[in-house]
Structure 1
Amino acid sequence: MRYFYFILLCAFAWGCANDADPEADKASFTRIYDNNKFGSVIYPIDIKQTSDGGYLILGGRKLTTSNFSGIYLLKTDALGAYVEEQELDEDLVAPIGPLMLLNDGYYFFCMTSVGLQTQLIRVNLNGTIDSQVSVGNSYPAAAAQEGNNFLLLSYNNVDKQSVISVVTPAGAVQTSKAFSIGAGDAVEEPIINHFLRTGRQLPFLVGRIPGGLFYFNGFFNYTLSLSFTNLAADEPQGILQGQQDDGGISQAVPLDGGKFALARFNFGDNYFLPAATINSSGISSSVDLGGNVLPELVPNAAVKILRTTINGRQVVLYGSDTNGKQIVILGYDEATGSLVGSKYLGFSNPYELAAILPTSDGGLAVCGRTYVAGRFGRICLFKLSSQEVESAFKGF
């Protein structure tokens, strides 16, 4: 039987968990979820807070029966304590985030291990499957919620195309458009390595400018590019080109006024642009954007961006991984782009970021992976109280 233990790493000012104040225990904690399967490899993908105040974490797990990752779901209570886990059947592989909440269900995409056909999975707040429908596309790469539908970026390995689709909760494809990645194995190799997790995890993205064009960060014409499309024309309306898979956009979130919060990478270097202007109707290069260089981050770092409100101020939070094996969160004023604070998480063990989530109490939940004894990959969860968040990002 699988068992879990929880390690509570509180700040010195708080000391141990306060038995007399359970609300304080819910507001701020750190958990590491370990188990007794010596060789198990688990990694987090996304997290959502559930209606009972707890958390549902989507993850992947290493399989012995497939080169792709299996699906793992973990449910906790409001204190971050383990409630239950689900290891989905091994005929479902390669899960992607985010978990998307619609009509009291949590949706995510994956694919079948045989046939590589994309599936849309709906689970309840405990991670138990409510429904599974086939979408038909192969190799799901990125997803997003668009009203009552979902956006899906997938890779068609037969025709060598990046495909962006609008998918209903029933799994029907309302509309889609495909774009060639370019001919040759050299273009496809990093894509397949991404799905097999034998190479660098590429920053695939999909979304929509509110009321405007759709966008995807994927391969187009030999290069990892941020492309804008109306899903009708055969060519993108705008292209922000990278440099094959050595440079490009690592995260993009639309802001008001036609601007974007961007992160980009270029041959190992990382740059943040809290209020970037992009030409969505022309061709440009990500190198020309400039940005704030972040030498403390790991090369070609994965980045998460969250728009949120902290103490009445619109703030853009950037989360990533440092060379010191910590998770760092940097906050920028959305209106001015100026830095308003930072927060570093994790010590002793190496830590890597998976997702940042605003919580119902005004705090933050930060989900990531740590390595127990330096080698066993396990899911970790940091819960920051509203007071901790306000203190960290109050400005200078």
Structure 2
Amino acid sequence: MKLVIYSLIFLGLGMSFSGCKKAKEEEIPFIKIYDDQDGNKHFHPLSISPSASNDGYIVMSAYDSWRIHLMKVDNTGEFVWNYELPANYVNAVPNLITSNGENYLVCMDAVGLFTYVLKIDENNHSTTEVATFTDVLYPTYVYNSGQYIYLQNYNRLSMQTGLHKLTADLSTITQSADLDIFTDVEDRIVEHITFSGKRMPFFVSSTPEQNYIVMNGFYNYSFSLVFLDQNLNFAGVYNGAGFNGGLAAISPSGGNQFSLARFSYDNLYYNAQASLTPTTVDITESISAQGQSELDAQKPVLIKDISINSVAYKAFLSSTRSNQLLLSIYDKSSGTLAGKKYLGKNIPITACDFLQTENGELNILVQAKIMGSFDRIAIMKLSKEQMEAIPK
């Protein structure tokens, strides 16, 4: 902690970091915490993605409510540059998109509430405006399926959730669908985008067969898991329990198999191999799942595909009620728990995003709370050897 405090006090010119080596086997080898010269800022990390130049990573965060911050680090986590977007660009959706070798972000106009698409310019440490969609209000998620790019939003005028198919350069909408919510959820949207209330687990993905779009969002008086076909026609739904229950995260595996986490009020449940029917009309509470009482249902859950020693796994990353992280590894073919690892101990941390590197390491983007009040961007790293030690 002294090293962290030292960097907070003395390394305030631009961004700085501190590294804490972990001696115990159950701890991660290091955590790098990045500080800003303005100690009063509060950061909410959103996404980490490989840089377009393939020499590091781009980290996107929100700060001071809905403002947008970009940072580049090299492959070892060393700070390279940072950029605070102009104040008219707000509410970055919580994931970066890579298309045609370029990184993009989707955000919103602070006054008009409409959507911008920005390309990240690594050479000039800035962004370039690619598109403006004046009819797409309150963007909430963006996803690249490998074939198409999909943009999700909330339309406050029609009280609908929208899904829009974009061209590869994200400049043009080619197809759209609207789903009726039948009630005004703007207050919930505002709480979500300003970090003043519950963050909703908006999500868009596609099945490996590319036959269904899988979308988590507001629909039919609830927060629901909706399936659409490739023409964006409604196919089926698992309705949430109003706004207090639904899917917290989902990762399609193929053959109507899904790894998922669902929430019900303050409780989280996992199922690493759930069988779902995309054309059904059902409720999320009917999906069998195992309770995870130690986990904090108010914080993000992340599910991604990883590989350890050429074996495919589903990695679940979540935050515990005691402000640690829990990384749970499930065998992709059987859905059985292969191993788990607790991360963090001395500093309260929250899971935000993660990715596996080409050499088998795991980079974990977290929010670290320093001295009980400073919300900072941090990156934790698990080595290839530590990853190999998790499956038993």
TM norm structure 2: 0.91
Query: Which of 81, 84, 89 is residue 87 of structure 1 equivalent to?
Result: 84
CA distance in 2, matches of 1:124, 1:387: 35
Q: Does residue 209 of structure 1 match 2:207? A: yes
Letter paired with 2:212: L
Pairwise mapping of residues 145-184 of structure 1 onto structure 2 (< 5 A)?
145-147=144-146, 149-168=148-167, 169-183=169-183
Q: Which amino acid aligns with 1:178?
A: D
Name the CA distance, whole Å, in 1 between partners of 2:328 and 2:122. 30
Deviates more, 1:120-129 or 1:311-320: 120-129
Provide the C-alpha distance between the structure 1 equivalents of 2:14 and 2:205, rounded to a whole number of angstroms.
38
Letter in 1 for 2:32: R
2-structure distance, mates of 1:193, 1:79: 35
CA distance in 1, matches of 2:298, 2:237: 21
SS at match of 1:255: strand
Counterpart check, 1:237 vs 2:235: yes
Out of 1, 5, 29, the residue aligned to residue 16 of structure 2 is 5
Give runs of aligned pairs for residues 14-53 of structure 1, distance below 5 A.
29-50=30-51, 51-53=53-55
- Segment drifting more, 205-214 vs 246-255: 205-214
Letter of the structure 2 residue corresponding to residue 33 of structure 1: Y
* Cα 1:40/1:285, change in 2 over 3 Å: same
Could you tell me how far apart the structure 2 residues matched to 1:10 and 1:38 are?
24
- Give the counterpart letter for 1:7 in structure 2: S
Shift of residue 149 of structure 1? Answer: 3.6
Quote the offset at 1:189 in angstroms: 2.8
**Contact residue 176 and residue 232 of structure 2 kept, 8 A:** no
TM-score for the superposition, normalised by structure 1: 0.90
Distance 1:108 1:149, change over 3 A: farther
2:102 is equivalent to residue 105 of structure 1: yes
- How far apart in 2 are the matches of 1:324 and 1:93? 31
Q: Identify which range, 80-89 or 121-130, moves more after superposition.
A: 121-130
Structure 2 letter corresponding to 1:215? V
Aligned to 2:75: 78
CA distance in 1, matches of 2:157, 2:193: 15
How has the CA–CA distance of structure 1 residues 229 and 13 changed in structure 2, closer, same or farther, with 3 Å as cutoff? Answer: closer
Letter of the structure 1 residue corresponding to residue 161 of structure 2:
S
1: CA distance, partners of 2:103 / 2:94: 11
Aligned equivalents of 2:297, 2:214: Cα separation in 1: 25
**What is the rounded CA distance, in whole Å, between the counterparts of 2:115 and 2:15 in structure 1?**
32
Runs of 4+ in 1 over 3 A off after TM superposition: 124-127, 231-234
Within 2, Cα distance between the matches of 1:237 and 1:222? 18
Instruction: Tell me the distance in 2 between the aligned counterparts of 1:54 and 1:92.
Output: 25
Task: Find the partner of 2:57 among 55, 58, 71.
Answer: 55
Q: 1:2 and 1:134 mapped to 2: Cα distance?
A: 34
Partners of 2:256 and 2:278 within 8 A in 1: no
Preserved contact between residue 104 and residue 124 of structure 1 (Cα < 8 Å): no
Which residue number in structure 2 is paired with residue 117 of structure 1?
114
Give SS of 2:94's match.
strand
- AA aligned opposite 2:303: I
2:323 and 2:350 in contact (8 A); partners too: yes
SS of match in other structure, 1:194:
helix
Match of 1:278 among 276, 279, 287: 276
8 Å contact from structure 1 (residues 177, 231) kept in 2: no
Residue by residue, what CA displacement relative to the aligned partner does 1:89-129 show, whole Å, maximum 9, x if unpaired?
A: 11100001321122221111101112111011110346521
On the 8 A contact 1:182/1:222 being kept in 2, the answer is yes
Q: 2:323 aligned with 1:325, yes or no?
A: yes
Moved more, 28-37 or 264-273: 28-37
Query: Are the equivalent residues in 2 in contact too, given 1:102–1:148 (CA < 8 A)?
Result: no
Partner residue in 2 for 1:142: 141
Whichever residue aligns with residue 18 of structure 2, its letter is: I
In structure 2, the partner of 1:262 is: 260
Question: What RMSD, in angstroms, separates the aligned Cα atoms of the two structures?
Answer: 1.9
Rounded to whole Å, the distance in 2 between the matches of 1:113 and 1:318 is: 34
Q: What SS does the aligned partner of 1:96 have?
A: coil
CA deviation after TM superposition for structure 1 residue 141, in Å: 0.7
Deviations 1:44-71 (A, max 9, x none): 1000123444221011111xxxxx5111
SS in 1 for 2:37: coil
Task: Return the offset for 1:190.
Answer: 1.9
In structure 2, the CA distance between the partners of 1:89 and 1:301, relative to structure 1 (3 Å rule), is: closer
Q: Tell me, which stretches of 5 or more residues in structure 1 are unaligned?
A: 15-26, 63-67
User: Cα–Cα, structure 1 residues 238 and 118, in superposed 2: closer, same or farther, change >3 Å?
Assistant: same
Tell me, what secondary structure is at the counterpart of 2:46? Answer: strand
Q: For residues 232 and 83 of structure 1, what CA distance do their matches in structure 2 show?
A: 42
| Maintained 8 Å contact 2:15/2:82 | no
How far has the Cα of 1:362 moved from its partner?
1.0
Q: Which aligned pairs between 1:272-311 and structure 2 lie closer than 5 A? A: 272-311=270-309
How far 1:28 moved relative to its partner?
5.4
Q: Which runs of 5+ in 2 are unaligned?
A: 1-11
Report the Cα offset of residue 170 of structure 1: 4.0
Work out the CA distance in 1 between the residues paired with 2:146 and 2:311: 26
Q: Aligned residue pairs: how many?
A: 374
